[in-house]
Structure 1
Amino acid sequence: MPFVVSTEANLPDDIRRERLYAGTVFCMPPRDSIRALADFALEMVSRAFDGRDPMTAHQDMPVEDYVGVLAALKPAFTHHRRCKELLREILADLGADISMTYFDVPKLRVVPTASYLSSGLGYNYAAHRDTWYASPDCQNNWWVPVAGNAADKGMQFHPDFWGRPVDNSSADFDAYEWNRTSRRDAAKYVTHDPRPHPKAAAGMEGSAVRVVGEPGSILSFSGAQLHSTVPNETDTARISFDFRTLHVDDLVAHAGPVNVDSRSTGTSVRDYLCADTFAPLPDDIVAMYDGNGSADGVLVFDPAVLEVN
């Protein structure tokens, strides 16, 4: 089917999810609820760089110092109570039933020039589906540009493989092993990144389509969409955040696109919190997805291991 991008912003949530599972990518215009979290993110980034312009800080900072800033900043944003509260407001504003919708805590991305940093905390994602990271087929992805987003340093989709298998390394990914080592060790990698990020085989990603929204807009797309980072070859950084959601009814029904090529093990669903109460998913629903994960791994990542003293 052709690659479909919709700017419809006020669809009922069940209709949006149905179309998302059929391959539609939504690029919704800016709204106040999204700007609120984008502004909060930019405030945290600016404060973390302590007087330096975060868009150009990489031009005169040693990369090790830059990574040190990100090592403290990224988990501070992700696990900040205010981020969860603002995320709940976004979902309610977009028409989601917050008692039935669960979210993974938002991830902050600060992407400087690729030749300066493209590993570890500045990892440039090769073509991948989020389902290769042991995510359920019904995962909804959300991506928000905060500053510096442009076609030459944003993200891109690879629509040739929507609903079609592509050779990939997802069989090497186990969610519980990832929690045990790889998430903890990201800040160690500056010039290379040996972590087992699942990716499409080299040269197999097909065509690329870049969808660019202005700050405060939001992209909504299926976790089964093949997508990647556009390596930043400009002089300035790109700042964005992203998060993921699941609807309980979809989880129970095993809704979503057909899994055509993911062979990852374990599950990410323990990471999700109810948008209303911030409670985790019930154990009986988690058990529906908890298959073949590493017995020596970690079921739920502890952000305390990332604390910078």
Structure 2
Amino acid sequence: MTALFSNSGADDDARRRTIYEGGIFVYSATPASVELIGFARALIEEAFQGLDPETAQFELPVEDYVALLADLKPRFIHHPECARLLPLVLAEAGCALDRTYFDVPRLRTSTSDEYLTSGISYAYHAHRDCWYSAPFNQVNWWMPIYPVSADNVMAFHTQYFARPVANGSERYDYADWTAVGRPTAAAHVHSDTREQPRPEEVIELEPQLRVVPEPGGFLMFSGAHLHSTVPNTSGRTRFSIDFRTVNIDDVRARLGAPNVDARCAGTTLRDFRRAADLTPMPSELAEEYEAEALARVR
């Protein structure tokens, strides 16, 4: 059974242990998260040049919309302001900045009525991040930038947390994805032919859990959870931020969620930076995880 914890007072060590067991945490907006979504809104609204970002999809040809996102999303991801604000968000959530490492924050869009569901605005099928070479001690963070509703958020398929699913992760190599798959996202406008792990059996999408936080409120959950993008029927584009963290003590000790079905190659650990000073993840740890992943593939 998956438990949902609202504004929990648990410390980060206890929270991570619960997350590794399938627990999902939801928190109200904090001063730093409000500042982060405010910064994101400023970039978004500048990019849309007077159009309402949540309804601009109904006024722009899809090719123009893709070109706009292709410029906007990297500007947000790599902006120095994000590197300044994310550690503040982590600190307010009780994370030890000298032990916590994070990857870059990603600006996500989910357009309504199937306007754009591939490439740079990919609508994710049911998946675990661990199928995409994420470590099993990865904690996912997700926050909406504008108000969201139950018909434009994400769904958790909690019955599969400890239940294997036939999937294509054995054909996924993170090094190949970063070299070829990710850079071509904007080229996939009407369909997406990139190799991405997905279920290879019929998935029971119900029952499902949908959580609707306020703008700047955030979810924390295990990368091992099976989750998907809810088909957006809200009439408004959903804008959100997500990023991931690991605690280096858990990385070293191999503490994390169980691996029930992932067989991918590589690791995303090289993407993580220490929140205290942006020092990269020690390369020897990434190498160890890469060797362990290769052994699983074989």
TM-score band, normalised by shorter chain? over 0.9
- Counterpart in the other structure of 2:170: 171
1:99/1:194 CA distance change after superposition, 3 Å: same
Identical aligned residues as a percent: 42
Deviates more, 1:203-212 or 1:158-167: 203-212
- Counterpart in the other structure of 1:162: 161
Paired residue type of 1:257: A
- Counterpart in the other structure of 2:126: 127
CA-atom RMSD, angstroms? 1.4
- Counterpart in the other structure of 2:217: 217
In structure 2, runs of 5+ residues without a counterpart are none
User: 1:172 & 1:284 partners in 2: Cα distance?
Assistant: 25
CA contact (8 A) 2:263 2:293 kept: no
User: 2:220 & 2:53 partners in 1: Cα distance?
Assistant: 26
User: 2:18 & 2:114 partners in 1: Cα distance?
Assistant: 38
User: 1:44 & 1:9 partners in 2: Cα distance?
Assistant: 32
For 1:75-114, what aligned pairs fall within 5 Å after superposition?
75-114=74-113
User: 1:214 & 1:6 partners in 2: Cα distance?
Assistant: 15
- Counterpart in the other structure of 2:289: 289
For 1:7-26, what aligned pairs fall within 5 Å after superposition?
7-26=6-25
User: 1:130 & 1:293 partners in 2: Cα distance?
Assistant: 14
- 1:263-299 deviations in whole A, cap 9, x for unaligned? 11011110111111111111221221123889xxxxx
SS in 2 for 1:285: helix
How many Å apart are 1:8 and its aligned residue?
3.0
- Counterpart in the other structure of 1:141: 140
- Counterpart in the other structure of 2:227: 227
CA contact (8 A) 1:30 1:215 kept: yes
Normalised to the residue count of structure 2, the TM-score between the two structures is 0.95
Paired residue type of 2:246: L
User: 1:119 & 1:14 partners in 2: Cα distance?
Assistant: 37
CA contact (8 A) 2:149 2:234 kept: no
- Counterpart in the other structure of 1:298: none
Q: Does residue 64 of structure 1 match 2:63?
A: yes
CA contact (8 A) 1:148 1:237 kept: no
* Structure 1 or 2: more helix by fraction: 2
- Counterpart in the other structure of 1:307: none
SS in 1 for 2:71: helix
Q: Which runs of 4+ in 1 moved over 3 A?
A: none
CA contact (8 A) 2:3 2:24 kept: yes
In structure 1, runs of 5+ residues without a counterpart are 295-309
Paired residue type of 1:38: I
SS in 2 for 1:141: strand
Paired residue type of 1:258: P
User: 2:254 & 2:292 partners in 1: Cα distance?
Assistant: 18
Normalised to the residue count of structure 1, the TM-score between the two structures is 0.92
1:261/1:244 CA distance change after superposition, 3 Å: same
CA contact (8 A) 2:97 2:276 kept: yes
Count, aligned residues: 293
- Counterpart in the other structure of 1:195: 194
- Counterpart in the other structure of 1:50: 49
